Amino acid sequence: MFDTDNILETIHMITNEHLDIRTITMGISLYDCASPDTRDSCRKIYDKICKKAEHLVKTGDEIEKEFGIPIINKRISVTPIALISAACGEKNLTPFAVALQNAADTCGVNFIGGFTALVQKGFTPSDTALINSIPEALTATKNVCSSVNIASTRAGINMDAAAMMGKIIKQLAYNTREDNSIGCAKLVIFANAVEDNPFMAGAFCGAGEGDTMINVGVSGPGVVKSALEKCDGDLSDVADTIKKTAFKITRMGQLVASEASKRLGVPFGIVDLSLAPTPAIGDSVAHILEEMGLESCGACGTTAALALLNDAVKKGGVMASSQVGGLSGAFIPVSEDAGMIDAVNKGALTIEKLEAMTAVCSVGLDMIAIPGDTDENIISALIADEAAIGVVNSKTTAVRIIPAYNKHVGDEISFGGLLGSAPVMEINSFSPARFISRGGRIPAPIQSLKN
């Protein structure tokens, strides 16, 4: 009936290799919360979230206990606030962020995402208001996450938005300077953002989603690394080992997702098959790459190894779940991955190499600290570079960068918890100011014309 080895393998994965469900994220549409009156809209938002997500944390805890699988985070994603706030014409959207924070506190979730604007082609007045409100909104709140989509393969890159985001990130870093500019860890700039991503800080409930849904993000870099430790074969064998492991991990995600959906009476959305590292020892994506045979993450060969990993995770996971979505692949955040931090500290990993890696990983430049005096145009240009990789390769890319106020190359900033700590990295200081000041749009690439 049950194979003893299988049972012990599962227990070993959970207790020794950090196998867990990283997040159960409930997506909630706020379309019915729009109102010409800001206070009325905020009240509706608070009420709807609290009603829909009332049992989310409790149900997650119950599933965790009964199945014996750690479920690390319970979170909420909502419709991009810029779409909802358009009805009231408000200039400062901080009250909406505060309403989200209050709802998160009431429901007991540790992050709520959706203080978002989608401006890949242009700005509505509401989009502009939202972007301008980000520094104040993310300073006034603790658990609200924000994202701005500035590019897509279909629309090209909105360079006016890239220019704005450089300034906004700097302002946010200054506003939260007392806490190592932590505000910037809650802001993601996307190209090709996905609508059903359960992972923070980039989660929002997209325009085409239903009223509520359950999306689950699995994890398990430690399990993959440990499986590779036993694999002596060539790289085809390595890919096969990763596929088998990803399959098992994803089956667990699918089980939790369907169970949560059933118990909460909310439709199941997707399972996101991502390898999401944490700062804990033995939970690192960089260490998987090193296990494949690299002296250090960042060495030549890193991009190829990551491409293999990212692809094998998807191939293994896709058969294990009825609906796969989100970002699905391998994340490469620096501050949240002990192996990445080590690689940076010993000079093996640079921002340029990380940028190359983002062409083949699931997202982009993630949780990277740079000197606080970095020019805003450099940040905007870095965002544009990253967006270009996403737009041309028809993949999601993102930038979550922290110009840590008053910190310099070699300093280390610590955020604590899952956000970890980041060494301040050197960034190319030659000026792209003239390029950024031109503004306008970089046209959509030829591969966007698929019809």
Partner 1 sequence: MKAVITVIGKDTVGIIAKISELCAKVNVNIVDITQKVMDDMFVMIMITDVSAMNEKFTDFIDKMDLLGKEMGLVIHTMHEDLFNAMHKI
- CB 22 → partner 1: shortest distance, Å? 17
Q: Which stretch binds partner 1 (CB under 8 A): 8-16, 124-132, 187-195, 381-389?
A: 8-16
Q: Where in 237-256 is the site for partner 1 (CB under 8 A)?
A: 248, 251-252, 254-255
CA dist., res. 339 & res. 287, Å (int): 6
Say what angle helices 94-107 and 125-140 make with each other, to 10 degrees: 50
The contacts found for 128-131 with CB under 8 angstroms, 24 or more apart, are: 129/82, 129/85, 129/90, 129/91, 129/92, 129/93, 130/81, 130/82, 130/85, 130/93, 131/161, 131/164, 131/165, 131/168
Q: Which stretch binds partner 1 (CB under 8 A): 61-69, 105-113, 184-192, 340-348?
A: 61-69
**Do 63 and 256 form a contact (C-beta atoms < 8 A)?**
yes
- CB 14 → partner 1: shortest distance, Å? 8
Q: Residue written as tokens 């997040």? A: 23
Confirm or reject binding of residue 68 to partner 1 (CB under 8 A): yes
Confirm or reject binding of residue 69 to partner 1 (CB under 8 A): yes
CA dist., res. 76 & res. 74, Å (int): 7
Q: Where in 257-296 is the site for partner 1 (CB under 8 A)?
A: 259
Say if residue 295 is exposed, middle or buried (CB neighbours under 10 Å; 0-12, 13-18, 19+): exposed
Q: Where in 399-418 is the site for partner 1 (CB under 8 A)?
A: none
Confirm or reject binding of residue 65 to partner 1 (CB under 8 A): yes
- CB 66 → partner 1: shortest distance, Å? 5
Confirm or reject binding of residue 15 to partner 1 (CB under 8 A): yes
Q: Which is nearer to partner 1, 306 or 324 (CB)?
A: 324
- Return the number of other C-beta atoms located less than 10 Å from residue 263's C-beta: 15
- CB 108 → partner 1: shortest distance, Å? 18
CA dist., res. 173 & res. 279, Å (int): 22
Q: Which stretch binds partner 1 (CB under 8 A): 6-14, 120-128, 211-219, 302-310?
A: 6-14
Give the pair of three-digit tokens for residue 168: 């906004």
Q: Which stretch binds partner 1 (CB under 8 A): 62-70, 180-188, 232-240, 303-311?
A: 62-70
- H/E element holding 250? helix 235-264
Q: Which stretch binds partner 1 (CB under 8 A): 63-71, 122-130, 147-155, 419-427?
A: 63-71
Q: What are phi and psi of 275, to 5 degrees?
A: -90, 105
CA dist., res. 145 & res. 116, Å (int): 8
The footprint of partner 1 on this chain (CB under 8 A) covers a number of residues equal to 23
Q: Which is nearer to partner 1, 55 or 154 (CB)?
A: 55
Residues that bind partner 1 (CB under 8 A): 1-4, 6-11, 15, 62, 65-69, 248, 251-252, 254-255, 259
